[in-house]
């Protein structure tokens, strides 16, 4: 609504100028009325009315900002508008109004997408549940479920609310909630989280929490809460507001005192109009955002670039962010000298080739096709494993308790499948998340780019998380975290290590993306809850784009700062010239346009390529 209001201001000023110009020529500058020697032409009245309304609007905004402790350059804009009204310079007044409202509109263009609704997250919220009543299935709204109700969850369906399995055993994909890359087997008595997806077997569940208190719905609430309480951030131009305002008022005041003519004060104030300051940062930021787009990064707001340029802490989700959300074979460990590693993997993959389980498909994919042989007498035991005959051998693959009872004391901390051949334990195969090839380099470059702390925040198990972190080059590892705990980890980052940037891709990352100073989503797979709630979205499957985002942000802010300081310097020089009385208000406004053009030209330099140092390519 605020953005729309600013756009209408700009449109009204343009229309007022057009109407005023037409009336001036059509009526040959005839006065609508006069008071004494003062004449009031139609075009002047139109512009003055708009100017007064704009000044009042600005004063109200200034008063609101002062109450919140924020001081901007808008006070100079009000003084400049009022001054031109008092000295009757309509053209100077209109130019000030155009640049003032135009700068705001350009800034809004750069930040227009910052408050999108979280459509993807809300669309995926479970809405219908299969309630069991006297053995019959009744479809009901999720919000109508009560604690104690029994719900049937069919294969492939989402768990509608938090509950406890009372009948059936199945695997559940919790990756979008906890970050665990491997489906988790759930048996009667085990807890289920809303939002997780059932595997191949229907189960019955007793509701333990109402919809509003369940895990998935609480994630939606966390995102909304984080959006409702955005982090405070001071715009770059406002940092220069007080000194520039004081200097300009002193020059104008002294000019008035020395000359004894209030017009001299107005002339200085016209030159001191903060249009260059208002437009310098937005032009540079829009240019930077354009450069981001060229690098396949969508940035939703200008302040995101400011925060990225100053970021000191970077946090990463594991699954789908640092890793590719794909399992690869890590180790093949044999327990029988009759089999070597190659043969053991061959037998296991042959038995698993018809299974749709993620571990089975990953094992098959990681095995040479020539090593996968036909299987007969195939039998699958739900949530336990599979068995069959391969090359005359009876092979069982799956959980240790299924494959080789009595070997339960074997301590394997990684994701693993166990293998027995002809009833004898033969060994096991461990799998791990496949690291993105660019992840270690990305972490190394971030340190060169000035990152003081880099951490991993994941819901996966400690041992798995630590292995991935070590490979990526991250020492600060936080594992087995729920979404609320991720948010707390971000909040706990000390002030001197802020701003905080977090990168993630799952539903469980959405709240932390909004809670961080900057949230970056890996959105290559399309619109997700993460990309909707993030400040920036990487549109290709390449995490090194985080380095590009930081480099472009640093370059953009460097250009923006130079632009603002140049604008201030030039304006103060012109103010000092106006101090002498040689620049009438109209020509002061024209000079303002020249300064604006210089400002815009400098701001466009943000589209140029950042240096290798900003990209983190140079050794420190």
* Dihedral sign for Cα atoms in the order 493, 499, 500, 506: positive
Helix, strand or coil, per DSSP, at residue 427: strand
Helix, strand or coil, per DSSP, at residue 166: strand
Query: Would you put residue 164 in left (φ > 0), alpha (ψ -120 to 50) or beta?
Result: beta
Residue among 601, 535, 591 at smallest CA distance from 297: 535
Q: Where are the beta strands (DSSP E) in 194-277?
A: 197-198, 203-207
Instruction: Quickly list DSSP for 70-86.
Output: ---THHHHHHHHHHHHH
Distance in angstroms (rounded) separating the CA atoms of residues 265 and 253: 6
Q: Cβ contacts of residue 138 below 8 Å, gap of 6+?
A: 130, 131, 132
Catalytic residue among 89, 108, 149, 317: 317
**Residue 416 pairs with which residues in a beta bridge?**
430
Q: Cβ contacts of residue 139 below 8 Å, gap of 6+?
A: 128, 129, 130, 131
| 273-292 burial code (b ≥16 CB/10 A, e <16) | bbbbbbbbbbbbbbbbbbbb
Q: Is residue 317 annotated as part of the catalytic site, yes or no?
A: yes
| H helix count then E strand count, the chain | 23, 24
Q: Where are the beta strands (DSSP E) in 105-256?
A: 128-133, 136-141, 150-153, 163-167, 170-173, 184-186, 191-192, 197-198, 203-207
Q: Where are the beta strands (DSSP E) in 422-479?
A: 424-435, 453-457, 476-478
Residue among 289, 276, 237 at smallest CA distance from 114: 289
Burial degree of 333 (CB within 10 A; 0-12, 13-18, 19+)? middle
The position carrying tokens 């009833």 is: 423
Distance in angstroms (rounded) separating the CA atoms of residues 114 and 568: 29
Q: Where are the beta strands (DSSP E) in 134-252?
A: 136-141, 150-153, 163-167, 170-173, 184-186, 191-192, 197-198, 203-207
Task: Determine the length of the chain.
Answer: 620
CA distances from 187 to 190, 214, 398 (A): 6, 20, 16
Q: Report the 10 Å Cβ neighbour count for 422.
A: 12
Q: Cβ contacts of residue 286 below 8 Å, gap of 6+?
A: 106, 109, 110, 302, 603
Distance in angstroms (rounded) separating the CA atoms of residues 418 and 84: 84
Residue 482 has φ and ψ, to the nearest 5°, of: -85, 165
Task: Please give, one letter per residue, the 3-state secondary structure of 592-603.
Answer: HHHHHHHHHHHH
In this structure, what token pair is assigned to residue 90? 């309509």
DSSP character at residue 319: I
Catalytic residues: 317
């Amino acid at each position: 609504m605020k953005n729309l209001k600013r756009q209408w201001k700009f449109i009204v000023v343009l229309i007022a100028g057009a109407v005023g110009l037409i009336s001036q020529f059509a009526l040959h500058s005839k006065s609508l009325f006069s008071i004494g020697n003062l004449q009031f032409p139609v075009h002047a009245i139109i512009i003055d009315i708009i100017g007064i309304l704009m000044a009042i609007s600005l004063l109200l905004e200034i008063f609101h900002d002062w109450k919140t402790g924020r001081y901007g350059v808008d006070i100079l804009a009000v003084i400049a508008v009022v001054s031109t009204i008092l000295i009757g310079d309509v053209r100077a007044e209109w130019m000030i109004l155009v640049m003032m409202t135009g700068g705001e509109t350009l800034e809004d263009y750069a930040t227009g997408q910052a408050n999108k609704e979280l459509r993807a997250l809300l669309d995926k919220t479970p809405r219908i549940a299969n309630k069991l009543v006297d053995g019959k299935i009744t479809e009901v709204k999720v919000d109508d479920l009560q604690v104690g109700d029994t719900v049937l969850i069919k294969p492939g369906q989402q768990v509608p609310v938090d509950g406890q399995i009372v009948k059936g055993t199945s695997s559940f994909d919790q990756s979008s909630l906890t970050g665990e890359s491997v489906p988790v087997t759930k048996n009667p008595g085990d807890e289920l989280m809303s939002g997780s997806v059932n595997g191949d077997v229907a189960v019955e569940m007793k509701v333990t929490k109402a919809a509003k208190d369940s895990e998935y719905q609480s994630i939606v609430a966390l995102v909304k809460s984080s959006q409702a309480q955005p982090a405070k951030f001071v715009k770059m131009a406002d940092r220069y507001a007080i000194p520039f305002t004081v200097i300009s008022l002193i020059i104008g005041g002294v000019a008035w005192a020395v000359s004894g003519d209030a017009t001299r004060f107005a002339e200085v104030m016209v030159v001191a109009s903060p249009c260059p300051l208002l437009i310098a940062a937005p032009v540079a930021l829009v240019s930077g955002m354009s450069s981001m787009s060229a690098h396949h990064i969508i940035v939703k707001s200008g302040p995101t670039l400011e925060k990225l340029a100053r970021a000191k802490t970077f946090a990463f989700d594991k699954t789908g962010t640092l890793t590719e959300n794909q399992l690869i074979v890590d180790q093949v460990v044999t327990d029988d000298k009759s089999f070597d590693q190659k043969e053991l993997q061959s037998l296991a993959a042959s038995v698993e080739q018809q299974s749709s389980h993620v571990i089975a498909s990953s094992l098959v994919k990681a095995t040479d096709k020539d090593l996968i042989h036909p299987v007969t007498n195939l039998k699958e035991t739900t949530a336990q494993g599979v068995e069959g005959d391969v090359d005359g051998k009876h092979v069982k693959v799956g959980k240790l308790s299924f494959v080789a009872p009595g070997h339960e004391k074997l301590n394997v901390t990684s994701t693993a499948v166990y293998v027995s051949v002809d009833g004898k334990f033969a060994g096991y195969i461990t799998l791990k998340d496949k690291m993105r090839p660019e992840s270690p380099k990305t972490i190394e470059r971030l340190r060169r780019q000035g990152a003081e702390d880099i951490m991993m925040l994941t819901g996966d198990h400690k041992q798995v998380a630590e292995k991935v972190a070590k490979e990526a080059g991250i020492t600060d590892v936080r594992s087995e975290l729920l979404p609320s705990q991720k948010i707390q980890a971000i909040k706990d980052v000390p002030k001197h290590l802020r701003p905080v940037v977090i990168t993630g891709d799952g539903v469980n990352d959405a709240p932390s993306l909004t809670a961080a100073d900057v949230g970056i989503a890996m959105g290559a797979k399309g619109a997700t809850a993460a990309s909707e709630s993030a400040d920036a979205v990487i549109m290709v499957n390449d995490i090194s784009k985080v380095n590009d985002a930081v480099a472009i942000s640093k370059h953009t802010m460097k250009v923006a700062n130079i632009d603002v300081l140049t604008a201030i310097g030039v304006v103060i020089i012109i103010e000092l010239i106006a101090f002498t009385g040689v620049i009438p208000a109209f020509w002061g406004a024209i000079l303002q346009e020249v300064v604006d053009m210089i400002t815009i030209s400098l701001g466009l330099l943000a589209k140029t390529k950042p240096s290798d140092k900003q990209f983190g390519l140079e050794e420190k």
